[in-house]
Amino acid sequence: MVDVVEIILTKYNYLIYIALMTIGFYGMIGKSNLIKKLIGMSVFQYSIFLFYISIADIHGGTAPILIEGEKVTYVNPLPHVLILTAIVVAVSTLAVGLSLAVRIYREFGSLDENKILMGLKDE
Amino acid sequence: MKTDVGKVDGKENGTQTRKAIKRGIILRTNAIFMVPFILLWGLYVLTHGSSGPGGGFQAGVVLAAGVILYAVVFGLDRAKRDFPIKVMLLIASIGVSIYAWVGLFALFFGGNYLEYGALPIGHEPAESSELGIEMVEIGIGLTVMAIMLSIFYDFAHGRD
Amino acid sequence: MILAVDILLLAVAILLAVKAIQTKDLIESIILFSGYSFILAVIWFELNSVDVSFTEAAVGAGVSTILLVAVVSLTLRHEEEETKSPIRSYLAILACIVFFAILAVGVPDMPKIGDPNAPHHQHVVPRYIEKSYEETGVENIVTAILANYRGYDTLGEVTVIFTAGISVILLIRRVWE
């Protein structure tokens, strides 16, 4: 029991990241509006980026831009590179998802998932 | 003092000025000051990506944000006249081509694909690498700005 | 990495995310999402990642918001009335609890926050940090890795953006002017 409390105290931030991921996940599957689903997907993606950037940090480190002369500790630059690519891919995915939502609205006149499914069954 | 805001739509100056005042003269005055600074700062971020935070992606998005501010305040028609859609698509294609062709040039001069050290533009591989990185960042910045603007134009068209 | 500031910012982020998903007015949801994005950019700045924080502030709180607002102006502002049975939302909540539990089981194995001996700081990263100036000539290590050491991935990413722009044109544009 003491172990669990100690884990929660030292690694609480991972639990917060998982909580953010769960909020985004619920937005994706529990809501029936298409735009709300896309917002949930974006919340999920950004929380994953937060997880990556936070494990790159080192105590007493500084930003990974080289400073003349002194010997300082730099934080790990590799997750920064991966997340830079991922952010731009996330916005591209959001743009294509939104354009699909606009097309669906033009066809069916509604953005609610159940009404679209009923409209598909009627055709 | 007459302005030529009304000439775009073919309406009189009177209606257009009245519409501008209704639309918010504070907004227009602020945007007139901010848009050139935002575009200039985007160019700064693009060229100083190697010595500070910044680089191609950040610069592309900042430049696109400046043009989007211009479009939101002054009207989509004016923005489409000053930053036309077809030119944007051409710039996007040029950006990707710059990146791919820099890599091919490295192949022609005997190195691997995208090995900047093999390009003969500097005295030593580190210098060639620095110049190669700057060329590539320009390509990335052009493509990102043009595509963000193109996507914005598509969505902002309004219902028809 | 100041502890109190970290916890405060994360708590605000959770509040914004919960309210953004729960509210029924889409404009309110978009503005809360933009605030969530910006709080995340501030957290990343506090975690010493300046390039990523810059990109997130420009992309997440800038371009993403304007695209969402433009689409809401093309379609509907409010969510429509719920027509699904409550069993569906109970199943969704159950799935979320299972998701949380599965991920929380892996938390005790993760390294401590800020530990310099963690396994992902070894092997290839010290080489990037030491040799990047003499091999590439730029001072920003992130730009050096992005454009030189991992330049092939960045080419793929630019292609992804280009393809997304073309896809949006194909899906939405009605009149070729």
Give residue B1's pLDDT: 39
Residue B43 has pLDDT above 90, yes or no: yes
Categorize the per-residue pLDDT at B139 as very low, low, confident or very high, splitting at 50, 70 and 90.
very high
Phi and psi, residue A33, nearest 5° = -85, 135
Give residue B38's pLDDT: 95
Q: Where are the alpha helices (DSSP H) in C50-150?
A: 50-58, 64-74, 86-105, 125-136, 141-144
Distance from CA of C125 to the nearest CA of B (A): 19
Please indicate, yes or no, whether the overall pTM of this predicted structure exceeds 0.95: no
Task: Report yes or no for ipTM above 0.95.
Answer: no
Contact B64, B148 (CB under 8 A): yes
- Average pLDDT over chain C reads 87
Q: When comparing pLDDT for C115 and A93, which is higher?
A: A93
Give residue B15's pLDDT: 56
Residue B141 has pLDDT above 70, yes or no: yes
Long-range CB contacts (< 8 A, 24+ apart) of C44-48? C44/A50, C44/A53, C46/C1, C46/C2, C46/C5, C46/C6, C46/C9, C47/A53, C47/A54, C47/A56, C47/A57, C47/A75, C47/C1, C48/A57, C48/A61, C48/A62, C48/A63, C48/A64, C48/A75
- Single-letter residue type at A100: L
Q: Flag residues of chain A having pLDDT under 50.
A: none
Categorize the per-residue pLDDT at B18 as very low, low, confident or very high, splitting at 50, 70 and 90.
low
Residue B102 lies in a domain: yes
Give residue C174's pLDDT: 72
Tell me, what DSSP letter sits at residue C145? I
Question: Best interface-test mutation with B: which of A88, A99, A103 has the largest number of B CBs within 10 A?
Answer: A88
Give residue B128's pLDDT: 87
Give residue A45's pLDDT: 95
Give residue C1's pLDDT: 56
**Can you tell me the distance from the alpha carbon of B158 to that of B73, in angstroms, rounded to the nearest whole number?**
16
Question: What is the average per-residue pLDDT within B102-129?
Answer: 84
Give residue C39's pLDDT: 94
CATH number of C1-79: 1.20.120.1200
Residue B3 has pLDDT above 50, yes or no: no
Contact C167, A97 (CB under 8 A): no
Give residue B4's pLDDT: 45
CA of B23: how far to CAs of B28, B33, C119, in Å?
9, 17, 57
Categorize the per-residue pLDDT at C99 as very low, low, confident or very high, splitting at 50, 70 and 90.
very high
Contact B128, B80 (CB under 8 A): no
Task: Please list the residue range(s) of chain C that carry CATH number 1.20.120.1200.
Answer: 1-79
Residue C175 has pLDDT above 80, yes or no: no
pLDDT tens for residues B72-83?
888 888 888 899
Number of helices followed by number of strands (H, E) in chain B: 5, 0
- Closest alpha carbon to C139 in B117, A65, B136: A65
Categorize the per-residue pLDDT at C102 as very low, low, confident or very high, splitting at 50, 70 and 90.
very high
Q: Is A115 in contact with C116 (Cβ distance < 8 A)?
A: no
Scanning the structure block, which residue is given the tokens 């996007």? B92
Question: What is the average per-residue pLDDT within B122-136?
Answer: 86
User: Which domain covers residue B90, as residue numbers?
Assistant: 10-155
- Single-letter residue type at B103: G
Distance from CA of B4 to the nearest CA of A (A): 35
Residue C80 has pLDDT above 80, yes or no: no
Residue C77 has pLDDT above 90, yes or no: no
Percent of chain C scoring above 90 in pLDDT:
46
- Contact of A15 with chain C, judged by CB distance below 8 Å, is answered with yes
Contact B42, B54 (CB under 8 A): no
Give residue A94's pLDDT: 95
- Contact of C13 with chain B, judged by CB distance below 8 Å, is answered with no
**Can you tell me the distance from the alpha carbon of C137 to that of B133, in angstroms, rounded to the nearest whole number?**
10
- Closest alpha carbon to A78 in C43, C122, C86: C122
B14-18, B67-71, B156-160: range with lowest mean pLDDT: B14-18
Count other Cβ atoms within 10 Å, centred on residue B39.
18
- Average pLDDT over chain B reads 83
A23-49 burial, b at 16+ Cβ within 10 Å, e below that, comes to bbbbbbbbbbbbbbbbbbbbbbbbbbb
Q: How many domains does chain A have?
A: 1
Distance from CA of B147 to the nearest CA of A (A): 10
Q: Which of B57, B93, B159 sits opposite C74 (nearest CB)?
A: B159
User: Which domain covers residue A31, as residue numbers?
Assistant: 2-122
Strand partners, C25: C78
Question: What is the average per-residue pLDDT within B124-139?
Answer: 88
Q: How many domains does chain B have?
A: 1
Give residue C83's pLDDT: 64
Question: What is the average per-residue pLDDT within C2-21?
Answer: 88
Q: When comparing pLDDT for B19 and A44, which is higher?
A: A44
**Phi and psi based region of residue B75 (left: phi greater than 0; alpha: psi -120 to 50; beta: remaining):** left
Q: Is A65 in contact with B52 (Cβ distance < 8 A)?
A: yes
Give residue A120's pLDDT: 83
**Can you tell me the distance from the alpha carbon of B33 to that of B45, in angstroms, rounded to the nearest whole number?**
19
CA of A74: how far to CAs of A64, B15, B58, C103, C151, in Å?
5, 59, 22, 29, 22
CA of B125: how far to CAs of B45, B79, B116, in Å?
25, 43, 7
CATH number for A9? 1.10.287.3510
Give residue A66's pLDDT: 86
On chain C, the residues whose CB falls within 8 A of the CB of B129 are 135-138, 148
Contact B66, B35 (CB under 8 A): yes
